[in-house]
Chains A and B, each alone.
Chain A
Amino acid sequence: MSNKNSRLHMRKSNKNIIGCIYFFAFLFLAMIGYMVYFIGWRSDDLMGNSYNPRMEVFNNRFVRGAIISSDGQVLARTEVTDTRKNKDGSDNPDGTYTETRQYPFGRVFAQSVGYSTKGKTGIEALANFYLMESNSNPVIQVANEITEKKSLGDNVIVSLDAGLQQVAYEALGEHNGAVIAVNPKTGEVLAMASKPSFDPNTIVTDWDSIVNDSSSAGPLLNRCTQGLYAPGSTFKIVMALEYIREHPDDYQNFAFNCDGKYRDPADDDYVVHCYSGEVHGAEDLHTAFAYSCNSAFAKIGTLVDKKKLMETADQLLFNQELPIDISSSKSRFTVTEDSGIWTMMQTAIGQGETMMSPLHEVILASAIANKGVLVEPKLLKQVQSSEGNVIKVFEDSAEKQLLTEKEASLLGSFMRSVVTDGTASKLRDAEYAAAGKTGSAEVSKNGETITNAWFTGFAPYDGPEIAVCVVVEEGETGGRTAVPVARAVFDYWLNER
């Protein structure tokens, strides 16, 4: 070993010391880069989090901004009444300062816009950070500081359309249920209505009665994203896709002769009936889909490969967090290698253990409408200062290929036939070409069997502009109860707007 104090050894050491300096300088630059990335790109999404107590501090500095629909209607705003100064500028000793959060549309947007007066939900929670910031004119802000007035917070423009939302809400009528509509090309959520509803203006005083009312059907729940329903015949979309995937070249050869029921050849007890005992006769896959033939699909249920079906369900976002920024429920789908014939028959017609949210249904319809590509749903469009200057434009949503373009076009043509030849006859005479799938899911509620009516689809068939999912609780059939609601939404969006 060379002498520690030799000049050569020292020089080598010094060289290595310089190397260490470079190493740590690089490490620190990486760390600083991460910090800049976090603050510049990641933090906006996190700041509105309800666990961040700092947002409340902004309450003392800014008046919470307004939430404005894409068609320019105010969905939420804060009204300030300040009587602390008289008109001539002198102090009014009896004056008070109050802020009231107002929701001009009341019950119509109750779950989607949410409320900010009793905790925060919906868009009020999602856009919290932006609503509590102020990018208004700095001169005015300084003047406000001097006069000890609060500056106005930024306004958030959302993708919801107030006109469409009202149509959707009213179309549900007396029924409980949900309507969600998105633009398949941009992912913008156009309407998100849920019934029963509540009045967000009086949520604070109504809170106890809403929470304690055991007969109430849960008005606080956003049925579009959090409601889980048996999908009924709408699940045939998934089954048809699975059959096509397993038989890419000869799915046309699927043949079934419907006599109103399908009985498992091995066990006479396993029998599935078509809705209200209809007899569909000779069918292929396309017509079985259009007529929503339970018997044919029960048979398909026994034919498909369970493992591949699970993979398809996984690709279609079952049992996963759905890509939306407000609270939503995961859809449930369970089939295992051990699932028996009966389970498969029931699953195939959407009557098994499967549960889906309207959001999930509209995601599938939207992907089929958009050549198999899901543009993830988004609610926020822009942040504007109180003077109307654009502060931030939310970037385009991420895209995800859920199915191939060929599969999407095939399923689209099946869904078109549902309107032209099948169960969605109430859309047949519309001025636009709609496509979709109906469903009538029988579930038991308090010992009684009720039917939840479904429609999920899009329009126009060539060049889709809107995808919609409707679920009506305790309706008749999908065709009779849900399709008219969807039609009202399509009519407004494509013709009347």
Chain B
Amino acid sequence: MINLYITATKYIQLLLIVLYTYCNFRFLSIPDQDDANPLCDWQLRIILLVHFLMNLTIYLKTGSVEVIVFYGIQLIFFLAYTFLSTYLYRNINRLLLNNTVFFLAYGMIILERLDMSKAIKQFAIIVGSAVISLAVPYIIDRVWDLVRWRYIFAAIGIILQGIVLIIGATSYGAKMSISIAGFTFQASEIVKITFVLATAGMLSYAEDFKDICVTSLVAAVHMLILVLCKDLGAALIFFIAYLVMLFISTNNFMYLFLGNVSMCLAAVFSYFSFSHVRTRVFAWMDPWADMDNKGYQITQSLFAIGTGGFVGLGLYQGLPNKIPIVEKDFIISAISEEMGALTAICIVLVCLGCFMQMMLIATYMESAFYKYVSVGLAIEYIVQVFLTIGGSIKFIPSTGVTLPFVSYGGSSLVSAFIVFAIIQALYIIQGNEDEADEIEVLERRAAGRPDRLSYDEPLNEDSGYDDTDYIDSDYDMEDIEDDPHYKSEKVSAEDLGF
């Protein structure tokens, strides 16, 4: 009977997640967020329904009352988090908020199934990080002027990662974490954020080639320490994020080209210099040749994904625990095995949706610093997703990084929450400014003055360029009812062709 319930909910879940993913991309095509609010409400209902159905399965299988209590607490948390976020920040991006809850819900479901004690630990960290994340937009908006702290961020990052290099603990061939009073944390997850804040700040102040060299030097020091820690997955994430930020800030394709060349050289170099890199490349090229050792993890992951197929075996019907460190690097394989590859693909698409939303927010930013920060964080996020998913399905060699919000692990969670909170902060700040502008215009109109807003530069500054090439060419407003910057940004979303 329980199997019947599991099979039935398996298909319902698939239907729901496909619907959720559809809503996700539908959202990106709606120009005005107020119109998208009903869609967001539906998304939340879908998540909570899936969360309920799956927790019921877990209860039926384990028969422990603990599960019901735990489910109740999680439900309250999800509701409270969503309510507080929207209550405190009227202009919050609902899509990113929903997706956060979505990832958390799937992560909790699969963790409860894999290991209940880890799920409880994970949940405690979720609650803690969520509280921090609620405060971040307020702090960024009111208290800190982040861009002035750019050198401090650079120093924090280098020192923190340097400490790891000196006293860090080695795991799976790389130095990743430091232990303080029995509490272990992976420094690169935090440095990831300070790195973007530092380099974005420096790039936004860069005036000439010398400034760019200095910024690149700071970035290189970060990466060098990571390479010395043999944390090449993180080094790659940092590198790509920096490269894209540099490209976006200079609009110079030469940097992109040089960056790619040096990345290829670095890849060849690391292949010949690090034995654990070679091991992973071998395991990627032909894992079947050595299924007992080097290829064990990846082949078990492929068995899990392949046996699960598109619809999955159903919760508790597979053997995801056969994959070593499944709850971290290979969480997607466990999800794919029991909830179906369709679910895994939807999760990947939602990750992609988050990235698109973050990048669109970047285009919405008027301040260069904020723009680069959101680009940097978005790239870091999507590269990390690409590395972990690609590694699990043998699309690329496994690099041992986690899936943000879904994988088990405190540092990864805290970091993911802060990253999303910073993006939200930028979105909220810009939204508030736009509203203020709008009010100002309305006041001007009430006072009988012209509608014109003040600009830093004259409008004919861009003569000689073909304006039609650019995304948002409509700053010159005749009718203020057409919401100014906000509207123009949403045009760019439509340009993507959703």
Question: B457 within 8 Å of A by Cβ?
Answer: yes
Question: A216 within 8 Å of B by Cβ?
Answer: no
Task: Tell me if B462 and A46 are in contact (CB < 8 A).
Answer: no
Interface stretch (choices A35-43, A70-78, A374-382, A407-415): A35-43
Q: When each residue 230-272 of chain B gets 1 if its CB lies under 8 Å from chain A and 0 otherwise, what string results? A: 0000000000000010011111000000000000000000000
Question: B208 within 8 Å of A by Cβ?
Answer: yes
Residue of B nearest to A8 (CB): B462
Residue among A4, A8, A17 facing the most chain B CB atoms (10 A cut-off): A17
In the complex the two chains form, what is the Cα distance from A40 to B393 in whole Å?
A: 13
Task: Tell me if B3 and A31 are in contact (CB < 8 A).
Answer: no
Residue of B nearest to A2 (CB): B251
Question: B51 within 8 Å of A by Cβ?
Answer: no
Task: Tell me if A18 and B496 are in contact (CB < 8 A).
Answer: yes
Interface stretch (choices A50-58, A286-294, A342-350): A50-58
Write out the residue numbers on chain B whose beta carbons fall within 8 Å of the beta carbon of A9. 251
Interface stretch (choices A21-29, A273-281, A388-396, A479-487): A21-29
Interface stretch (choices B96-104, B274-282, B348-356, B446-454): B348-356
Task: Tell me if A12 and B389 are in contact (CB < 8 A).
Answer: no
Task: Tell me if B248 and A1 are in contact (CB < 8 A).
Answer: no
**How many B residues have CB within 8 A of the partner chain?**
72
Task: Tell me if A20 and B367 are in contact (CB < 8 A).
Answer: no
Residue of A nearest to B212 (CB): A1
Write out the residue numbers on chain A whose beta carbons fall within 8 Å of the beta carbon of B313. 54, 57
Q: A18-B495, A146-B4 are in contact. Are A25 and B356 (CB under 8 A)?
A: yes
Q: A24-B355, A31-B348 are in contact. Are A8 and B465 (CB under 8 A)?
A: yes
A27 interface neighbour in B244, B304, B386, Cβ under 8 Å: B386
Task: Tell me if A39 and B368 are in contact (CB < 8 A).
Answer: no
B393 interface neighbour in A8, A11, A35, A44, Cβ under 8 Å: A35
Task: Tell me if A24 and B382 are in contact (CB < 8 A).
Answer: yes
Task: Tell me if B393 and A38 are in contact (CB < 8 A).
Answer: yes
Least Cβ–Cβ distance between B392 and chain A, in angstroms: 9
In the complex the two chains form, what is the Cα distance from A32 to B305 in whole Å?
A: 13
Q: A1-B208, A31-B348, A146-B1 are in contact. Are A11 and B306 (CB under 8 A)?
A: no
Least Cβ–Cβ distance between B228 and chain A, in angstroms: 29
Question: A142 within 8 Å of B by Cβ?
Answer: yes
Question: A47 within 8 Å of B by Cβ?
Answer: yes
B470 interface neighbour in A12, A24, A148, Cβ under 8 Å: A12
Least Cβ–Cβ distance between B492 and chain A, in angstroms: 6
Question: A13 within 8 Å of B by Cβ?
Answer: yes
Task: Tell me if A38 and B249 are in contact (CB < 8 A).
Answer: no
Write out the residue numbers on chain A whose beta carbons fall within 8 Å of the beta carbon of B389. 31
Write out the residue numbers on chain B whose beta carbons fall within 8 Å of the beta carbon of A207. none
In the complex the two chains form, what is the Cα distance from A43 to B300 in whole Å?
A: 12
In the complex the two chains form, what is the Cα distance from A462 to B161 in whole Å?
A: 77
Task: Tell me if A17 and B362 are in contact (CB < 8 A).
Answer: yes
Least Cβ–Cβ distance between B127 and chain A, in angstroms: 31
Interface stretch (choices B64-72, B108-116, B315-323, B410-418): B315-323
Task: Tell me if B251 and A7 are in contact (CB < 8 A).
Answer: no
Question: A5 within 8 Å of B by Cβ?
Answer: yes
Task: Tell me if B359 and A4 are in contact (CB < 8 A).
Answer: no
Q: When each residue 27-44 of chain B gets 1 if its CB lies under 8 Å from chain A and 0 otherwise, what string results? A: 000000000000000000
Write out the residue numbers on chain A whose beta carbons fall within 8 Å of the beta carbon of B322. 53-54
Write out the residue numbers on chain A whose beta carbons fall within 8 Å of the beta carbon of B349. 28, 32
Q: A15-B470, A24-B355, A28-B352 are in contact. Are A4 and B310 (CB under 8 A)?
A: no
Task: Tell me if B379 and A51 are in contact (CB < 8 A).
Answer: no
In the complex the two chains form, what is the Cα distance from A82 to B388 in whole Å?
A: 47
Question: A49 within 8 Å of B by Cβ?
Answer: yes
Write out the residue numbers on chain B whose beta carbons fall within 8 Å of the beta carbon of A46. 302-303, 306
In the complex the two chains form, what is the Cα distance from A51 to B457 in whole Å?
A: 67
Q: When each residue 262-279 of chain A gets 1 if its CB lies under 8 Å from chain B and 0 otherwise, what string results? A: 000000000000000000
Q: How many A residues touch the partner, as a band?
A: 35 or more
Task: Tell me if B393 and A31 are in contact (CB < 8 A).
Answer: yes
Question: B57 within 8 Å of A by Cβ?
Answer: no
Question: B22 within 8 Å of A by Cβ?
Answer: no
Q: A4-B368, A51-B291 are in contact. Are A17 and B303 (CB under 8 A)?
A: no
Task: Tell me if B307 and A24 are in contact (CB < 8 A).
Answer: no
Residue of A nearest to B5 (CB): A145
A14 interface neighbour in B300, B457, B461, B492, Cβ under 8 Å: B492
Write out the residue numbers on chain B whose beta carbons fall within 8 Å of the beta carbon of A22. 496
Question: A315 within 8 Å of B by Cβ?
Answer: no
Least Cβ–Cβ distance between B387 and chain A, in angstroms: 11
Q: When each residue 348-392 of chain A gets 1 if its CB lies under 8 Å from chain B and 0 otherwise, what string results? A: 000000000000000000000000000000000000000000000
Question: A327 within 8 Å of B by Cβ?
Answer: no
Interface stretch (choices B149-157, B190-198, B471-479): B471-479
Write out the residue numbers on chain B whose beta carbons fall within 8 Å of the beta carbon of A43. 302, 305-307, 309
Question: A6 within 8 Å of B by Cβ?
Answer: yes
Question: B23 within 8 Å of A by Cβ?
Answer: no
Residue of B nearest to A52 (CB): B303
Residue of A nearest to B320 (CB): A54
Question: A254 within 8 Å of B by Cβ?
Answer: no
In the complex the two chains form, what is the Cα distance from A54 to B299 in whole Å?
A: 12
Write out the residue numbers on chain B whose beta carbons fall within 8 Å of the beta carbon of A10. 366, 368, 371
Q: A11-B470, A18-B363, A54-B304 are in contact. Are A145 and B1 (CB under 8 A)?
A: yes
User: Of residues 48 to 81 in B, which have CB atoms within 8 Å of A's CB atoms?
Assistant: none
Least Cβ–Cβ distance between B138 and chain A, in angstroms: 25
Write out the residue numbers on chain A whose beta carbons fall within 8 Å of the beta carbon of B371. 10, 13, 17
Residue of A nearest to B352 (CB): A28
Write out the residue numbers on chain B whose beta carbons fall within 8 Å of the beta carbon of A12. 251, 470
Question: B170 within 8 Å of A by Cβ?
Answer: no
Question: B174 within 8 Å of A by Cβ?
Answer: no
Write out the residue numbers on chain A whose beta carbons fall within 8 Å of the beta carbon of B469. 15
Task: Tell me if B496 and A1 are in contact (CB < 8 A).
Answer: no
Write out the residue numbers on chain B whose beta carbons fall within 8 Å of the beta carbon of A492. none
Q: When each residue 137-157 of chain A gets 1 if its CB lies under 8 Å from chain B and 0 otherwise, what string results? A: 000001001101000000000
In the complex the two chains form, what is the Cα distance from A54 to B321 in whole Å?
A: 11
Least Cβ–Cβ distance between B45 and chain A, in angstroms: 26
Question: A16 within 8 Å of B by Cβ?
Answer: yes
Task: Tell me if A35 and B367 are in contact (CB < 8 A).
Answer: no
In the complex the two chains form, what is the Cα distance from A348 to B318 in whole Å?
A: 55
Task: Tell me if A21 and B251 are in contact (CB < 8 A).
Answer: no
Least Cβ–Cβ distance between B319 and chain A, in angstroms: 5
Question: B456 within 8 Å of A by Cβ?
Answer: yes
Residue of B nearest to A25 (CB): B352
Residue of A nearest to B375 (CB): A17
Task: Tell me if B303 and A14 are in contact (CB < 8 A).
Answer: no
Task: Tell me if A21 and B368 are in contact (CB < 8 A).
Answer: no
Task: Tell me if A7 and B462 are in contact (CB < 8 A).
Answer: yes
Residue among B207, B250, B299, B469 facing the most chain A CB atoms (10 A cut-off): B250
Question: B344 within 8 Å of A by Cβ?
Answer: yes
Residue of B nearest to A44 (CB): B306
Residue among A34, A39, A47, A142 facing the most chain B CB atoms (10 A cut-off): A39
Least Cβ–Cβ distance between B247 and chain A, in angstroms: 6
Q: A18-B492, A35-B345 are in contact. Are A13 and B249 (CB under 8 A)?
A: yes
- List 15 additional contacts besides A18-B495, A21-B496, A24-B386; criterion CB under 8 Å: A1-B207, A6-B457, A8-B461, A12-B251, A16-B247, A17-B359, A17-B375, A25-B352, A28-B349, A28-B386, A31-B389, A32-B345, A42-B306, A46-B303, A54-B322
- Contacts A/B (CB < 8 Å), 7 sampled: A1-B206, A14-B472, A18-B492, A20-B244, A34-B393, A47-B303, A57-B318
Q: What are the nearest 3 A-B pairs in CB distance? A: A43-B306, A11-B470, A4-B368
Chain B interfacial positions (CB closer than 8 Å to A): 1, 3-4, 7, 204, 206-209, 244, 247-251, 291, 299-300, 302-307, 309-310, 313, 317-319, 322, 337, 341, 344-345, 348-349, 352, 355-356, 359-360, 362-363, 366-368, 371, 375, 379, 382, 386, 389-390, 393-395, 455-457, 461-462, 465, 469-473, 475, 492, 495-496
